[in-house]
Structure 1
Amino acid sequence: MRSAEAEDRKFQEEKKKVPNGKQTEKRQKNK
């Protein structure tokens, strides 16, 4: 579960970097 938390953190950081974080959301759902 630790890896999941780390990935969630990465996901949140990328969302901040990219205003349009729809692509990142799709990637997260696919995983």
Structure 2
Amino acid sequence: MQASLAELARPPFAKKVQSKPVFLGKHLPTG
């Protein structure tokens, strides 16, 4: 899970996030 946080700080995280909409919903209030 720590890797996810590190990726969030980086720009490429957006590409991985697109594949995981659930992950965004949990961290962001968009979901």
TM-score range, shorter chain: 0.3 to 0.5
Q: Higher helix share goes to which structure? A: 1
Flag the structure with larger Rg: 1
Q: When the two structures are superposed, what TM-score results if normalisation uses the length of structure 1?
A: 0.34
Q: When the two structures are superposed, what TM-score results if normalisation uses the length of structure 2?
A: 0.34
Higher RCO, Cα 8 Å, sep 6+: 1
